């Protein structure tokens, strides 16, 4: 019976969920993936739903939250078009290695010059040492949201300064 409650609610409202997902996500395939993920996440909890309204409410919230998560992931990923010459797996020439080294040095200089010591520390621990946000927050006696904010601002500064440097070249 509980399986029918979730399945019925999800099937009956699929068009509404699809519309909701497409409001957050431009890609229809991504919206379909979110719906499937929502159903898969709710399936193990199907015995908790007493009525179709409960199943509908939980499904709506889950779809919305998954859409927001997916949208945030898309925003955080820097999209670069594939350049066959640049991205080929063949061995790189010496000038390409030099250019990569120069870019890395420029990013290091931006980090040293533009970021606060706190931002440098958080960035170092997250990106280079591989620590998670919770550990960094605990060690620095900060809220996780504050650590994420500092990390986000640091990345934004690096990105903007690097883009300005690229435009000058």
For 2-76, CATH gives 1.10.1740
- C-alpha span between 129 and 110 (Å, rounded): 19
Question: Domain-by-domain residue ranges, the chain?
Answer: 2-76, 94-168
Per residue in 38-96, pLDDT tens? 888 888 887 887 887 887 888 888 888 888 888 888 777 666 666 666 665 555 566 77
Taking the model in full, what pTM does it have? 0.45
What confidence category does residue 152 fall into, taking pLDDT thresholds of 50, 70 and 90?
Answer: very high
- The CATH classification of domain 94-168, taken from the options 1.10.10.10, 1.10.645.10, 1.20.120.530, 3.40.50.720: 1.10.10.10
Average pLDDT, the chain: 82
Max Cα–Cα distance, the chain, nearest Å: 67
The predicted pLDDT at position 87 comes to 60
């Amino acid at each position: 019976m509980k399986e029918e409650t979730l399945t019925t609610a999800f099937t009956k409202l699929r068009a509404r969920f699809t519309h909701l997902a497409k409001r957050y996500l431009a890609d229809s395939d991504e919206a379909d993936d979110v719906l499937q993920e929502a159903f898969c996440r709710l399936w193990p909890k199907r015995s908790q739903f007493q009525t179709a309204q409960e199943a509908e409410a939980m499904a709506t919230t889950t779809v919305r939250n998954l859409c927001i998560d997916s949208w945030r992931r898309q925003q955080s990923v820097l999209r670069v078009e594939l350049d066959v010459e640049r991205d080929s797996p063949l061995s790189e020439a010496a000038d390409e290695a030099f250019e990569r080294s120069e870019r890395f040095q420029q990013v290091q200089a931006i980090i040293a010059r533009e970021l606060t010591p706190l931002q440098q520390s958080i960035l170092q621990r997250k990106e280079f040492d591989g620590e998670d946000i919770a550990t960094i927050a605990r060690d620095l006696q900060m809220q996780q949201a504050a650590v994420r904010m500092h990390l986000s601002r640091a990345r934004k500064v690096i990105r903007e300064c690097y883009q300005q440097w690229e435009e000058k070249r």
